[in-house]
Amino acid sequence: MATVALTTANFDEVTSTDGIVLVDFWASWCGPCVRFAPTYERSSEKHPEITFGKVDTEAEQALAAKFDIRSIPTIMAVRDGIVVFAQPGALPESALESLIEKVEQLDMDEVREQVAAHKKGHEPSAATSGAAS
């Protein structure tokens, strides 16, 4: 499968579906991004069941800002609508394949529980909001 251009118009739709979406934040002037592109493309051919998206950070500055992208390339993995990995730096092919394997092996019920617990931990309770003074 070829890579898909991700924009503010289609990003949420593409990444909110079930399954794995890898996202490459890049720019044409970025040497490491240009060198990483063939590796990313080869991996997309090997894994047709995964959506491989690319965000041009020059054209899609709002998306880059939304995800606080400060260094490119940055690789993000989204599974079942949840960001499960994000890291700046071009990955060697073996590391990209290893990342894909790890994302495929995730227990998503456990991930959803962790996300829910994290969100719950950040909600103000009566004890922390000053209501119990």
Is-catalytic flag, 33?
Answer: yes
Contact 44, 50 (CB under 8 A): yes
Contact 92, 100 (CB under 8 A): no
> Which residue out of 20, 21, 22, 33 is catalytically annotated?
33
> Which residue out of 20, 23, 30, 75 is catalytically annotated?
30
> Which pairing describes strands 82-88 and 74-79: parallel, antiparallel, or unpaired?
antiparallel
Is 78 in a helix, a strand, or coil? strand
Sign for the CA dihedral angle at 119, 122, 125, 127 comes to positive
Sign for the CA dihedral angle at 60, 61, 63, 64 comes to positive
CA distance 37 to 39: 5
Q: Which residues are catalytic?
A: 30, 33
